[in-house]
Amino acid sequence: MAVPATGARVVAAAAASNDSARTPPLTTILDLFDRHRSFLLTGHENPDGDCLGAETALFHLLKALGKQAHIVNPDPIGRSFDFLQRHTPFASARAETPLPEFDCAILLDCCQLSRVGHLGQRLQQSGVPIGVIDHHVGSENGDGSVCYVDATAAATGALVRRLFRQLDVPLTPPAAEGVFLSLIADTGWFRYSNADAEVFAMASELVAAGVDVSLIYDSLFRRRHPQSTALLCEALATHRLLLGGRLALAVLDRSLMDRASHIDFDPDEILEPLRSTEGVEVVALCKERFDGTVKVSLRARRDVDVQAIAGVWGGGGHKKAAGATMKMSLAAAAAAVEAEVQRALEAAGG
Ligand SMILES: [Mn+2]
């Protein structure tokens, strides 16, 4: 099979077309599946539930189509997600790890090779076509030569579910479990405003297909490390209410982040309780990284578009959930976030 020529043609077609033509119909990603034999599925660093769930579902879809598929992530999967490995193999690649053979790579829940760690560079060097399946705004303008992007979808896993339907492939229990994990990860167990009719309809059919909901809940939320409750308190205690109580800002320094990494504590856990404080419209969590940069995670309650705020530092995401990497000190990042949120609140009318 003339794989390099096929890949080159797909890339050329995308490069030559204008923006609207870079959002091809659903059939295009299906064509990509059709043309290739062996797929490497991957996603962003520190893969979350949507990323891992979508990878799981797509893995089983490709297998059902008679293809070879390998899930290789830049980081190992977190302990709370290890139930997925009952039915689905996950690998993580360090710089020297040999990769399985593949003639096509698919990025899930992200669109840029720069977000895939060092694995991203290796994918670029491999020269294979890159497909993107994602629900983030603007992802059709990322590194995918073929994209299936729908920013109205609640989760990337929902997009993979649609592909099953399009191809008339029945959902197996492991695939259903993957889609379910995606949905609950990105809707906060159906609490956020992105939990739309498609999400609830899918949830119903996924449970009917055999998803063990309580097993997933227990795996994700009832295996807390004994020290993590103390760390949760410490992380929450860093928060301050600013801008008249409309911004909740928490700042986690390197020492706290270091201890969090040792006990598999996810600092983003504090975002939701902070968002529940009456009067808070934006939550910002600044995390100091070991390379000296600061990762800011932003959540909005109503009218403020936090994706636009994240864009100030080259980040992105969704209107109500976004993030960015800031190349500055923790104190400078906190001050910059406060200034941008103030600007956004004023622009939103008050
Ligand atoms: Mn997602």
Q: What is the dotted CATH code of the domain comprising 3-220?
A: 3.90.1640.10
Q: Provide the whole-model pTM.
A: 0.82
- 232-253 pLDDT, tens digit per residue, is 999 999 999 999 999 999 999 9
DSSP helix/strand/coil, 17: coil
Structural domain boundaries in the chain? 3-220, 228-347
Query: Is residue 30 pLDDT above 70, yes or no?
Result: yes
- 257-299 pLDDT, tens digit per residue, is 999 989 878 899 999 999 999 999 999 999 999 999 999 999 9
Query: Is residue 169 pLDDT above 50, yes or no?
Result: yes
Q: What is the dotted CATH code of the domain comprising 228-347?
A: 3.10.310.30
Residue 186 alpha carbon to ligand 1 centre in Å: 6
Give the pLDDT confidence score for residue 350 in this predicted structure.
61
Residue 269 alpha carbon to ligand 1 centre in Å: 16
Residue 131 alpha carbon to ligand 1 centre in Å: 16
Where is 208: in which H helix or E strand? helix 197-208
Residues 216-227 have a mean pLDDT of 92
Beta bridge partners of 254: none
* Neighbour-count burial for 124-137, b at 16+ CB within 10 Å, e otherwise: eebebbbbbbbbbb
Give the pLDDT confidence score for residue 264 in this predicted structure.
79
Residue 55 alpha carbon to ligand 1 centre in Å: 11
Residue 48 alpha carbon to ligand 1 centre in Å: 8
Give the pLDDT confidence score for residue 1 in this predicted structure.
32
How many residues appear in the chain?
350
Alpha-carbon distance 116 to 342, whole Å?
Answer: 32
| Average pLDDT value over all residues in the chain | 91
Residue 104 alpha carbon to ligand 1 centre in Å: 22
Residues with Cβ within 8 Å of residue 102, at least 6 apart in sequence: 38, 39, 40, 68, 70, 126, 128
